[in-house]
Amino acid sequence: MTEHFHPLGKQPSAVTVAAQRAARASLPFADRRDLDEARRGFIAAPAARQILSETGRVVWDLGSYDFLLDGQELDSVHPSLQRQALLNMEFGLYEVVPDRIYQVRGFDLANITFVRSDTGWIVFDPLTATETAAAALALVTEQLGERPVVAVVYSHSHGDHFGGAHGVVDLQAVRSGAVQVIAPAGFLEHAVAENVYAGNAMNRRMFFQYGVLLERSPYGHVDQAIGKGVASGNVGLIPPTVTIEDDLQELVVDGVRMVFQNTPGTEAPAEMNTWFPQWNAFWAAENVTATIHNIYTLRGALVRDPLEWSRQINRALYMFGRQAEVMLSSHTWPRWGNERIQEVLRTQRDTYAHLNNGVLHLANQGVTINEIHNVYQVPASLDQQWAARSYHGSVAHNSRAVINRYLGYWDGNPTTLIPLSPRRSAPLYVEMMGGARAILDRARSLVDDGEYLLATEILDKLVHAEPDDVEARELLADAFEQIGYQQESASVRNSFLAGAFELRSGLPSGQAPSSTGPDLVRALTTGQLLDFLGIRLDSSAAEGLSFVVNLVTPDNGEQFVVELSNGTLTNLGGFLAEDPDLTITVDRADLEEALVGAVPLAQQIAAGTVVLDGDGSLLEAFAALLVDFELGFEILPGTGGAYPPPGAARAEGPGPAGGD
């Protein structure tokens, strides 16, 4: 194994090395079809492996992963994850359907797909960032000639599939009708709500799932399962102009026939596959990629429905898969040949269905949410297929998610129904275990024996009871690190290694990225904007205060009654109070300017753009009750700090919601 220096990480232990060798011996490495498919159709790659912003900041750096190319077996990386990480190093422009469908891969977490129409390009999923999408279009233009973008298709509502739209199309061209933007039903609602309502907490948790602070090395970030990582450029959103409402809906755009299959409640709450009947090509969105995905995503999101996911894959198999000659998706690589396509569709269909059914089979026999991940097993026939491996999800956290979806988080034991907070219960555990020294001595012996999970069980109590105990944090970090090295799932690996990083070094201070941007704010409905104000409200400070406000936005004909009572802000569209304390009349367009910070509300009031009728002091009083969420809140005891300063691309937070 090639030695790589890592200032914070340590070498894999003998126990970890043995676990990696056992995995290497048990998996079907003789099946190299994925490697052939990942390289098929390669046309060209740019000379530079970095993509820069207009100011020269690195927003994407594939070259930082070149340590994966030296052909060495890395004992600090699960061999199956190392295989996936190497496959995701494929970089450049690829032909998928001759003279018709092309993909640029390796420029961001997702793929960007270009479909040649009669006069231009139809672009599927324009990546996370303006810069990476623009770089992909530039490569396509360089290799295939200049053609206008006539349409953009968003397959679903995650940020790595719409955030770079400004890099491939001009907003004015969309507004004029020259370019269509097509998306599934519910796209806009879910795209913005997911990134706003719990956006700050999601961004903080993404430090763990996406390994935001980890060095790119064999001891840190090696892959993100569905791609290398998330670009850190400018994230935007151009709202759709065409919404696919029906379960199956056909459109012809500039000579290209597309049959859209709405698949809500699968990988995203709003998602759709696409069938190209002219070329027997099936676009599987993010419903079928080279991994089993997340039923529960560790950054936090609504728990998904594996049975519905399986059912929608099955529908696609019977509607399109039996005649498809190529299947491509918004991540990883295509598959060619009908037999191969049906094999992958059935593998993923069965894996999601078994996850649902097998977990519930055990739950109905009394296996609880706190036991299921140690009991549920993927069938051996699926376990030996690469398309059923859990690089993005994991069997452990997905199985727990199924129980949570159906039965909730409680395991049925009254002891866990009203649990103490960890910092309240931990001192009792430490006392009963004989104090810090006894715990450290026992934990060190467990770590030396390779019993890392047992070590974390007792060290976590000590760290919560005595967060300033550096020796305890260091030893817990050591255990986290070895557990991380052994994980096949990139999300789980990153989470343990990120935990080790924060325990050792804390969180650097600096300016945090926002979980929202101007485009996302403008895309919120007025009701969603008011809902988010309710989330930001400090209820304790609002105790005893009350008001009734009418909000009227003449340019779009909306009206809302907004009430503050019982420390709670509520709103109701389509109604006005008869005797409000205040009526605010403002065009929705001007309200947006205030919310994105372009023109402050006070300035608009002074200019008469905002008209107040009633007690205007309520606005100032209400503003004082709102909390600005800070990203760098502590997760592990004793780490503290805020977000790191702008600088290297790896230290910048990913865009909204990722592709998970």
Query: How far is residue 295 from each of residues 160, 272, 346, 403, measured CA to CA in Å?
Result: 18, 17, 18, 11
Q: Give per-residue pLDDT as tens, 635-647.
A: 898 887 554 443 3
Q: Give per-residue pLDDT as tens, 480-491.
A: 999 999 999 999
Q: What is the pLDDT of residue 514?
A: 55
The C-alpha atoms of residue 349 and residue 266 are separated, in whole angstroms, by 12
Q: What is the pLDDT of residue 165?
A: 97
Q: What is the pLDDT of residue 5?
A: 37
Share above pLDDT 70 across residues of the chain, in percent, rounded to a whole number: 95
Q: Give per-residue pLDDT as tens, 553-562.
A: 999 999 999 9
Q: Give per-residue pLDDT as tens, 131-145.
A: 999 999 999 999 999
DSSP, residue by residue, 340-355: HHHHHHHHHHHHHHHH
Is the model's pLDDT at 603 over the cut of 80? Answer: yes
Q: What is the pLDDT of residue 409?
A: 94
Is the model's pLDDT at 3 over the cut of 70? Answer: no
The C-alpha atoms of residue 333 and residue 348 are separated, in whole angstroms, by 15
Is the model's pLDDT at 237 over the cut of 80? Answer: yes
Q: Is 608 left (phi over 0), alpha (psi -120 to 50) or beta?
A: left
Return the ∠ at Cα 396 (arms to 452 and 388), rounded to 5°.
Answer: 120
Q: What is the pLDDT of residue 659?
A: 62
CB 169 within 8 A of CB 180: no
Mean pLDDT of 408-424: 95
Is the model's pLDDT at 654 over the cut of 80? Answer: no
Residue 193 confidence class, pLDDT cut points 50, 70, 90? confident
Mean pLDDT of 140-154: 98
**Where in 171-284 does DSSP place strands (E)?**
180-184, 242-244, 248-253, 256-262, 272-276, 281-283
3-class secondary structure, 145: coil
Q: Give per-residue pLDDT as tens, 440-470.
A: 999 999 999 999 999 999 999 999 999 999 9
Q: What is the pLDDT of residue 104?
A: 98
Residue 650 confidence class, pLDDT cut points 50, 70, 90? very low
Is the model's pLDDT at 246 over the cut of 50? Answer: yes
Between 191 and 579, name the one with better pLDDT.
Answer: 579
Give the chain's mean pLDDT. 93
Mean pLDDT of 44-59: 95
Please return the burial class of 515, using the count of CB atoms within 10 Å of its CB with bins 0-12, 13-18 and 19+: buried
CB 37 within 8 A of CB 109: no
Show me where the domains of the chain are located.
Answer: 538-623
Is the model's pLDDT at 652 over the cut of 50? Answer: no
Fold category of 538-623 in CATH: Nonspecific Lipid-transfer Protein; Chain A (3.30.1050)
The C-alpha atoms of residue 223 and residue 67 are separated, in whole angstroms, by 12
The C-alpha atoms of residue 239 and residue 233 are separated, in whole angstroms, by 19
Residue 629 confidence class, pLDDT cut points 50, 70, 90? confident
Which residue's structure tokens are 């519905």? 308
The C-alpha atoms of residue 346 and residue 316 are separated, in whole angstroms, by 10
Is the model's pLDDT at 112 over the cut of 60? Answer: yes
Q: What is the pLDDT of residue 647?
A: 35
Q: Give per-residue pLDDT as tens, 66-91.
A: 999 999 999 999 999 999 999 999 99
Q: What is the pLDDT of residue 540?
A: 92
CB 352 within 8 A of CB 309: yes
Which helix or strand (DSSP H or E) is residue 115 part of?
strand 112-116
